[in-house]
């Protein structure tokens, strides 16, 4: 009978811009940040959650979490979790706050932090990692976590139930496979745009030595330097290794087509975020123009409606959901269903701070419960800032190790919370 | 040589929920609010701007304006206005803050307030209303106000210049016509969902007496009561009067089609916001399913990309731009061009607080400079809260009177700013 008594927020920022970690064509100087929330209860556990930003404005997400917190303070945990889809709608459809979205921007980023903290708390109470909490649900319980409004022209409750029932078979075998081999991943932290050539070479070699077989580079500054960067990585990686490129939204539609085709000689598996994330139809045009290079996007796809349309318009080859951009795990589950219904692989966006910790659960849920497939799937990994987490994401031979600690893996060390606090923590003094 | 010295923000809210003004199917209790900003200068004028919300969360918009304000404080006004499109991109493409959107939600609403305050200041310095400041620009100057990135697959700089040059002819005659007849408008404040039937009847009669010939009602609670509401309004209005219906995003796609067809006997000109505002393809499906009723949307279309796609997908008959949802006048001008290029009438969303004051300028600019047409155009009007403005929007015989005072008509009386301040103003004590 746990009750949520209060909520505290923390504006946490890492000074990553000083090292050009995370630098790309549109974000040259990110300070990886977390708008972090703790649900304090009368029970044995706290719920921890966060949303990810890249510095300035993180305080707005904290303020938005505070604005939403009155919707959970004083509530019994079971009142929320017994009707998880209805709880989610109560957060995202608040009669006044929804004007600030709906389902997008600061208020939706804050929704992710708060909703994921409830999932973390619930999973800790159940003594399970979040992926297992979901995997142990019946198909009907899974469906009950989702708000299907606006999705029913694509996937409704009946269709979802059928899809999930079909995946009940073989779940133990798939889990055993994941525990043995891990979930396939790729690494981004070799190819940040701000790194000099020798650092890129050194990082590629180091990552190959650790067993990585799938890599991503940033592009989008100028064609010549992008070609050179791809050439350098191909030289280091050889031909058998997967290479993807990420433009981080810098191009117009036609420009994206022309530029990507200039890079296709390097055997790119996908071009990521080739244009503005809201331009569904633009992505569809680009996809038709750059084959055989695939199109990937989603880290800035604000909500399930954007994914619904990216899928309906056949605009993407890979759905890169983000654990914080979407309004928490409930909406992530909806997008897993939408993508599986269209046969499009989900390859979550990660990196930053905390995203790897989150998305490992999502990919495992997708394999166990929804898509049942690892074909053409790979989940992003970047090797930054994991030391701040009690149970950091672990990788082995280019794959995520299945997390076994109860919760959503997002709880930070108290010392890290103190050190990263902006602007008075040790990181900023 | 005016310089912006500092920025102050004010969290202003009217207790409209107590009277059910503005009530609709998704927003039963709006408190019309303004995140209000003043640019203080070393010159003779201040710049005033605001963004509109419906209550809770208005403080987040104020905080976001403060986060953006460092991008204008200390800047010379002419440095901004000499390169208005580049200035706009510097606000919307800040390397860290853009993560919170891009181009959507709280940070974009705040952008509107700040950008429009710069336009207000500029127009006051020039001694012109904003519409005239724009109408007096050369086509090249107009084009220079717009960031065409992401739009060029639809309208690029060259096409825009051609469109604007074509509209140079006849401008004085169109202005004389507007000064004589006003800009055509419709009234929403007769049909709020929370009003009882007798109040709807009384408000229809009063509005007819004032010369209104175009009306809108709210729908979306249940089919029977919606039919009754339309029936009541048709009884009061007769057959010659335009009637529109607004569902405020409550329906799924198929539900929107079925429900609208249940109401089409009442001769609806359009169904507004039939589903989630992000669902471009859903709107296209609905449009095909409800003819001859038109589809209108846009007050929650987050940015120019969403309008570009609504137009490309042939999803709308009417583009309802919002002066605050879009990131200020620069982005509004872009959408006017996109709509004109496709021949879709712009019928701005208004009401709330301050929106009527803003959008009158937009419609006048559209007629004088961009579309050159009044055919099938009508701009929303609601009769609330105008008393707070120094130069309130005025209507006569169902049409907006051309505003002649310098600025963007958005400056409030100091007494109103004091009274509406949340939570300590007289309105809230």
- pLDDT tens for each residue of A257-276: 999 999 999 999 999 999 99
Beta bridge partners of A40: A6
Spell out which residues of chain A touch residue B31, defining contact as CB-CB under 8 Å: 96
Q: In chain A, which residues have pLDDT < 70?
A: none
pTM of the model: 0.98
Q: Judge: B309–A108 Cβ closer than 8 Å, yes or no.
A: no
Phi, psi of A265 (to 5 degrees): -60, -20
Provide the pairing of β-strand A214-218 with A242-246: parallel
Name the residue with tokens 């330097």.
A225
Spell out which residues of chain B touch residue A64, defining contact as CB-CB under 8 Å: 57, 60, 106
B109 interfacial to chain A (CB closer than 8 Å):
yes
Q: Judge: B99–A53 Cβ closer than 8 Å, yes or no.
A: yes
The reported pLDDT for the residue numbered B20 is 79
Nearest Cα to Cα of residue B107 among B148, B56, B165, B65 = B65
Nearest Cα to Cα of residue B234 among B211, B216, B246 = B216
Fold exhibited by the domain B165-416: TIM Barrel (3.20.20)
Spell out which residues of chain A touch residue B97, defining contact as CB-CB under 8 Å: 56-57
| Cβ-based neighbour number of residue B288 at 10 Å | 12
The reported pLDDT for the residue numbered A184 is 98
Per-residue tens of pLDDT for chain B, all 429 residues: 899 999 999 999 999 988 878 788 888 899 999 999 999 999 999 999 999 999 999 999 999 999 999 999 999 999 999 999 999 999 999 999 999 999 999 999 999 999 999 999 999 999 999 999 999 999 999 999 999 999 999 999 999 999 999 999 999 999 999 999 999 999 998 878 788 899 999 999 999 999 999 999 999 989 999 999 999 999 999 999 999 999 999 999 999 999 999 999 999 999 999 999 999 999 999 999 999 999 999 999 999 999 999 999 999 999 999 999 999 999 999 999 999 999 999 999 999 999 999 999 999 999 999 999 999 999 999 999 999 999 999 999 999 999 999 999 999 999 999 999 999 999 999
A253 interfacial to chain B (CB closer than 8 Å):
yes
Q: What is the DSSP letter of A129?
A: B
Nearest Cα to Cα of residue B114 among B146, B90, B149 = B90
CB B370 within 8 A of CB B85: no
A78 interfacial to chain B (CB closer than 8 Å):
no
In angstroms, what CA-CA distances link A284 with A340, B75, B288, B322? 19, 41, 21, 27
Return the residue in B24, B31, B100 with the most chain A beta carbons within 10 A, the one to mutate for interface testing: B100
> Which of A64, A95, A276 faces B29 most closely, judged by CB atoms?
A95
CATH dotted code for B4-127: 3.30.390.10
Phi, psi of B333 (to 5 degrees): -60, -40
Q: How far is A93 from chain B (nearest CA, A)?
A: 8
The reported pLDDT for the residue numbered A368 is 98
Q: Judge: B60–A55 Cβ closer than 8 Å, yes or no.
A: no
Return the residue in A96, A109, A275 with the most chain B beta carbons within 10 A, the one to mutate for interface testing: A96
Within 17-36 of A, beta carbons closer than 8 Å to B belong to: 26-31
The reported pLDDT for the residue numbered B23 is 82
The reported pLDDT for the residue numbered A1 is 87
| Cβ-based neighbour number of residue B255 at 10 Å | 19
Spell out which residues of chain A touch residue B312, defining contact as CB-CB under 8 Å: 281
Nearest Cα to Cα of residue B3 among B35, B65, B47, B49 = B47
Write the DSSP string, A20-85: TTT--SS-SS---EEEEEEEEESSS--EEEEEEE-STTHHHHHHHHHHHHTTTTT-BHHHHHTTHH
CB B118 within 8 A of CB B80: yes
Question: Taking the domains of chain B in order of start, what are their residue ranges?
Answer: 4-127, 165-416
Q: Judge: A150–B281 Cβ closer than 8 Å, yes or no.
A: no
The reported pLDDT for the residue numbered B193 is 79
The radius of gyration of chain B from alpha carbons, rounded to an integer in Å, stands at 20
Rounded-to-integer distance, Cα A348 and Cα A358, Å: 10
B149 interfacial to chain A (CB closer than 8 Å):
yes
The reported pLDDT for the residue numbered B28 is 87
Return the residue in A92, A148, A153 with the most chain B beta carbons within 10 A, the one to mutate for interface testing: A153
Rounded-to-integer distance, Cα B32 and Cα B37, Å: 16
Q: How far is B369 from chain A (nearest CA, A)?
A: 26
The reported pLDDT for the residue numbered B106 is 98
Q: Six-digit token pair at B69?
A: 């304000």
User: From B25, which residue of chain A is nearest by alpha-carbon distance?
Assistant: A95
Return the residue in B278, B279, B280, B283 with the most chain A beta carbons within 10 A, the one to mutate for interface testing: B278
Rounded-to-integer distance, Cα B71 and Cα B82, Å: 16
Q: Judge: A281–B312 Cβ closer than 8 Å, yes or no.
A: yes
A108 interfacial to chain B (CB closer than 8 Å):
yes
B312 interfacial to chain A (CB closer than 8 Å):
yes
Instruction: Find the Cα–Cα–Cα–Cα dihedral A51, A52, A55, A59, rounded to 10°.
Output: -10
Q: Judge: A102–B254 Cβ closer than 8 Å, yes or no.
A: no
Within 35-64 of B, beta carbons closer than 8 Å to A belong to: 53-57, 59-61, 63-64
| Fold matches, B4-127 and B165-416 | no
The reported pLDDT for the residue numbered B195 is 85
The reported pLDDT for the residue numbered B404 is 98
B288 interfacial to chain A (CB closer than 8 Å):
no
Q: Judge: A63–B61 Cβ closer than 8 Å, yes or no.
A: no
* CA angle in degrees (0–180, nearest 5) for B333-B338-B344: 110
B14 CB-near residues (< 8 Å, 6+ apart): B31, B32, B33, B353, B384, B385, B420, B427
> Which of B54, B102, B150 faces A99 most closely, judged by CB atoms?
B54
The reported pLDDT for the residue numbered B353 is 97
- Residues of A noted as catalytic: 218, 349
Q: Judge: B281–A109 Cβ closer than 8 Å, yes or no.
A: no
């Amino acid at each position: 009978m746990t009750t949520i008594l209060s909520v505290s927020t923390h504006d946490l920022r890492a000074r990553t811009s000083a090292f050009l970690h995370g630098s790309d064509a549109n974000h040259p100087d990110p300070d990886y940040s977390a708008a972090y929330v703790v649900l304090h209860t009368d029970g044995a556990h706290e719920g921890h959650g966060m949303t990810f930003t890249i510095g300035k404005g993180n305080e707005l997400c904290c303020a938005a979490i505070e604005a939403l917190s009155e919707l959970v303070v004083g509530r019994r945990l079971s009142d929320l979790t017994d009707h998880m889809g209805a709880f989610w709608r109560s957060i995202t459809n608040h009669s006044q706050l929804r004007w600030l979205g709906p389902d997008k921007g600061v208020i939706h980023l804050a929704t992710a932090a708060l909703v994921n903290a409830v999932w973390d708390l619930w999973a800790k109470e159940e003594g399970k990692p979040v992926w297992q909490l979901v995997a142990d649900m019946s198909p009907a319980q899974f469906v009950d976590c989702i708000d299907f409004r606006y999705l029913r022209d694509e996937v409704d409750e009946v269709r979802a139930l059928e899809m999930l029932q079909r995946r009940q078979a073989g779940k133990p075998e798939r889990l055993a496979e994941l525990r043995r081999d891990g979930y396939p991943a790729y690494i981004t932290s070799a190819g940040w745009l701000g790194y000099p050539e020798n650092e890129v070479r050194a990082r590629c070699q180091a990552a190959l030595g650790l067993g990585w077989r799938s890599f991503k580079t940033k592009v989008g500054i100028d064609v010549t330097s992008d070609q050179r960067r791809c050439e350098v990585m191909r030289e280091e990686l050889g031909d058998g290794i997967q290479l993807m490129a990420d433009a981080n939204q810098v191009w117009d539609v036609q420009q994206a087509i022309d530029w990507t085709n200039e890079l296709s000689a390097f055997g790119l598996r996908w071009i990521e975020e080739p244009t503005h994330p809201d331009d569904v139809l633009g992505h569809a045009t680009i996809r038709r123009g750059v084959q055989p290079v695939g199109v990937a996007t989603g880290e800035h796809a604000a909500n399930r409606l954007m994914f619904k349309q990216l899928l309906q318009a056949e605009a993407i080859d890979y759905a890169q959901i983000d654990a914080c951009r979407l309004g928490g795990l409930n909406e992530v589950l909806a997008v897993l269903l939408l993508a599986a219904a269209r046969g499009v692989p989900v390859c979550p966006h990660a990196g930053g701070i905390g995203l790897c910790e989150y998305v490992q659960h999502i990919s495992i849920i997708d394999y166990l419960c929804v898509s049942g497939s690892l074909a053409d799937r790979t989940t992003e990994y970047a090797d930054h800032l994991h030391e701040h987490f009690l149970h950091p994401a672990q990788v082995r031979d280019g794959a995520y190790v299945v997390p076994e600690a109860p919760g959503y893996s997002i709880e930070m060390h108290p010392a890290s919370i103190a050190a990263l606090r902006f602007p008075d923590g040790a990181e900023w003094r």
